[in-house]
Amino acid sequence: MNDTNPRRRRVLRTVAASALAPWAAARAAEPQTAAGTDAPQAWPPIRLLDGTLWTPESWQGQAAVLVIWATWCPFCHRHNPGVEALHRAVAGRPMRVLGAALDRDPEVVRRHVAERGYTFPMTMDAEALRTRFALRRVTPTTVTFDRRGRLLQRIPGEMFAEDVLELARLADTPV
């Protein structure tokens, strides 16, 4: 069935996502440790929504949490307030929090971010980052890195806010 009706496709995606919610929640409760993560991961240059460029060198000595999300994702709507709380909790500490939107239109993302009061940095490079870090197509997906740049976990699905906040501990790990 090749359905070209955008509204119907959105409804079908929502129904499918709802059916997968229990699976996603269970997967989020059991973070996956990535195999072969001893080598530091190379970050590509990342252009943020505000035009700022983060270079690969700017990640040195920084733990990181990357969240792949989308404005149309109901799980992301519940997940991202926890990401915002994490971003505020680690301000001034050696940690970066980055949101990567799957949406195609940066204006839609800017409006969404403004409406919800998110201040954590955002990029539109979600697909490139998904490929770079071998991420599954689960939305949201949270990825953690230690201060040496080693990929620690790929966490598919929505997380509870307190579990997202727990990731702040990565800022305190020695280099």
Separation of alpha carbons 97 and 164, rounded Å: 11
Domain that holds residue 105: 6-172
Separation of alpha carbons 63 and 24, rounded Å: 25
Is 120 a member of any domain? yes
Contact 43, 54 (CB under 8 A): yes
Six token digits for residue 126: 């979600």
Predicted TM-score (pTM) of this structure: 0.78
Total number of domains constituting the chain: 1
Kindly state the average pLDDT of the residues 127-146.
94
Cα atoms found within 13 Å of the Cα of residue 77, Cβ hemisphere only? 6
Six token digits for residue 79: 């997940």
Say what the pLDDT of residue 24 is: 44
Is 88 a member of any domain? yes
Look up the CATH number of the domain holding residue 23.
3.40.30.10
Work out the pLDDT band at 28, boundaries 50, 70, 90. Answer: very low
Lowest mean pLDDT among 14-18, 133-137, 161-165: 14-18
User: Which residues pair with residue 65 across a beta bridge?
Assistant: 97, 144
Q: Count the neighbouring beta carbons within 10 Å of the beta carbon of residue 53.
A: 9
Is 104 a member of any domain? yes
Is 1 a member of any domain? no
Amino acid at the residue 88: R
